[in-house]
Amino acid sequence: MSQHAHAVIWIDHHQAKVLHFNATDVDHAVIHPHDRTVHVHHKANAVGDGRAPVDKDYLRRVTESVSTTEAIMIVGPASAKTELADYIAAHAPGVSAHVSTVQPADHPSDGELVALARQYFKAQDRMRRPV
């Protein structure tokens, strides 16, 4: 994968799409957890909340995929996006400093993801320019 300054990660508990991009080029990778969890249902009178535990190895591999990226956007439909952001903050503070935003996003296509991220980072770059 070539080096790009920006990346967008779309993540849920079944896969993470990592798209490194610049104005004209996109590199795409998909990372899957080793042990894909199925939806766990909470049962009455059962101990626990019915949620599968966080797969730290999965989050580690996603974090490593953006370890040299300057600006990172994390999006996803459920709690996996915040689990990733929390994992990065706790285990990779150098990468955490480059996480620009964590936002909800349902199931966009790769093209829609890149367009969303380019729009976000273009606005951010305008905000940072000195007047």
72-118 pLDDT, tens digit per residue, is 999 999 899 999 999 999 999 999 999 999 999 999 999 999 999 99
Q: What is the pLDDT of residue 123?
A: 87
Q: What is the pLDDT of residue 114?
A: 96
What's the length of the chain? 131
Distance CA 13, CA 125 (A): 31
Residue 1 pLDDT level (bands cut at 50, 70, 90): very low
Q: Are strands 71-76 and 6-11 parallel, antiparallel or unpaired?
A: parallel
Burial of 1 (0-12, 13-18, 19+ CB in 10 A): exposed
Token match 């300054």: residue? Answer: 5
Residues 6+ apart with CB under 8 A from 21: 4, 6, 7, 8, 27, 114, 117, 118
User: What is the CATH architecture assignment of 6-128?
Assistant: 2-Layer Sandwich (3.30)
Q: Which of 5-14, 48-57, 67-76, 77-86 has the lowest mean pLDDT?
A: 48-57
